[in-house]
Amino acid sequence: MDLLKHAITVKGKVLPGDVLKVGSFLNQQIDVRLLADMAKDIFAHFCNCAVTKVLTVESSGIALACLTAQFFNCNAVFAKKSKSNNIEGEMLSAECYSYTHNTANVLLVPREYIAPDDKVLFVDDFLAKGEALRAAVKLVKEAGATFVGAAIAIEKGFQGGGDQLRKEGVDVYSLAIIDSMKPGEIVFRN
Amino acid sequence: MDLLKHAITVKGKVLPGDVLKVGSFLNQQIDVRLLADMAKDIFAHFCNCAVTKVLTVESSGIALACLTAQFFNCNAVFAKKSKSNNIEGEMLSAECYSYTHNTANVLLVPREYIAPDDKVLFVDDFLAKGEALRAAVKLVKEAGATFVGAAIAIEKGFQGGGDQLRKEGVDVYSLAIIDSMKPGEIVFRN
């Protein structure tokens, strides 16, 4: 997705520890025009999948999930991150380790927000080792719903999570896949 | 805003401690059609204010902020909540006490995301005592930018924060103001 790759190249900052900062347009300051174009692209890929719900994880996935849900004319839902599995009410839950922040979280969604007849598209800003995506698959399975696939803004291809999940049969659609990066040089997969 | 009041009446749940749960359509599961209508209403109120940035707080304000920013054709920014004032890089910061969660947070926004010539509209899902709104005013002042006003989905009128801020001259525009509530009975201000 050329608009996104351009924004990453111009505005993204590569930091030590394989961190790519894109907060100025993607996930803290949000360029809603760019994200609407990205959502349109995601819609084009999944438009025949009868998506009924868009699922993401707080906070940085919420913007893209909402704009994507507008195209599918369905609701968006985000999983909350909790440090503990201390759950009130009936919750769907899945453990999720963040290599970026070196923390273990539990993702929580009230069970009533994902129905067994839902066809769920997972949307997120980043995919690295695929921990959040795997947790999302688990949440959807626990709900008895159908996992349609995953739409990712930026996949860190060099971390392998996306390719592994594709091998396992998950439809992982990434708008930009980075094969390598260092300060001043980001190489995208064609 | 009748569509929102209807949704609150039908789907909202009043819990002990003056808690109103609206997670099924407003701030965890997100009814993007309803929120787009709410954003249109917000735009109508502030359309002559030359808004250049929409500011909110993670996580539950992000959806409405993004959809509102689409009408103003500008970027949205959210403040992150941190437990500490331990700041890396140049950050705008403001303390914010949450009476709902009984926690003290520091709201953080990278200084580069709010420019001195920005005209900032604050958007949030709830206003009770007005702590988050006051913190937002402080962030915008610290940035040297102009605070245009606040657009709130649901104001708990009985907690007084909105009326106090209006007395102080802040343009607080709430789509639904609740004057009193108990299980099964929510009374809106006309």
* Residue A57 near chain B (CB below 8 Å): no
**Tokens (6 digits) for A157:** 């291809």
Flag if A58 and B58 touch (Cβ within 8 Å).
yes
DSSP A57-77: ETTTTHHHHHHHHHHHTSEEE
Across A101-113, b (16+ Cβ under 10 Å) vs e yields eeeebbbbbbeeb
Q: Output the pLDDT for position B100.
A: 72
Using a CB-CB cut-off of 8 Å, the residues of chain B touching A143 are none
CA torsion, ordered B66, B69, B70, B72, to nearest 10 deg: 170
Task: Please state, rounded to an integer, the average pLDDT across all residues of chain B.
Answer: 95
H/E element, A161: helix A161-167
Nearest CB among A33, A59, A70 relative to B62 is that of: A59
Nearest to A92 by CA among A74, A114, A75: A114
pLDDT tens per residue across span B99-136: 777 888 999 999 999 999 999 999 999 999 999 999 99
pLDDT bucket at A103, cuts 50 / 70 / 90: confident
Please tell me the distance from the alpha carbon of residue B80 to that of residue A33, in angstroms, as a whole number.
22
pLDDT of A86 > 60? The answer is: no
Residue recorded with tokens 């509102």: B68
pTM over 0.90: yes
C-alpha neighbours within 13 Å on the C-beta side of residue A185: 3
Strand partners, A126: A154
Strand partners, A6: none
Q: Output the pLDDT for position B85.
A: 62
Name the H helices within chain B.
2-11, 32-46, 62-72, 131-142, 161-167
Please tell me the distance from the alpha carbon of residue A122 to that of residue A153, in angstroms, as a whole number.
11
pLDDT tens per residue across span A123-169: 999 999 999 999 999 999 999 999 999 999 999 999 999 999 999 99
* Residue A1 near chain B (CB below 8 Å): no
Please tell me the distance from the alpha carbon of residue B21 to that of residue A6, in angstroms, as a whole number.
41
Flag if A75 and B29 touch (Cβ within 8 Å).
yes
Helix, coil or strand: residue B25: helix
Backbone angles phi, psi at A119, to 5 degrees: -110, 110
Express the helix, strand and coil content of chain A in percent, nearest 5 each.
Answer: 35, 40, 25
Helix, coil or strand: residue B71: helix
Q: Which residues contact B33 (CB under 8 A, 6 or more apart)?
A: A73
pLDDT tens per residue across span B70-95: 999 999 999 999 876 656 668 999 99
Q: Which residues contact B113 (CB under 8 A, 6 or more apart)?
A: A23, A24, A28, A29, B77
pLDDT bucket at A84, cuts 50 / 70 / 90: low
Please tell me the distance from the alpha carbon of residue B69 to that of residue B47, in angstroms, as a whole number.
11
Flag if B28 and A66 touch (Cβ within 8 Å).
no
Nearest to B131 by CA among B106, B167, B110, B158: B106
* Residue A21 near chain B (CB below 8 Å): no
For an interface test with B, which of A33, A55, A66 has the most B Cβ atoms less than 10 Å from its Cβ?
A: A66
Q: Output the pLDDT for position B98.
A: 81
For residue A93, CA distances in Å to A81, A136, A139, B38 come to 10, 9, 6, 31
Q: Which residues contact A190 (CB under 8 A, 6 or more apart)?
A: none
Q: Output the pLDDT for position B86.
A: 57
Q: Which residue has the higher pLDDT, A21 or A101?
A: A21
Check if the beta carbon of residue B186 is closer than 8 Å to that of residue B14: yes
pLDDT tens per residue across span A167-190: 999 999 999 999 999 998 999 998
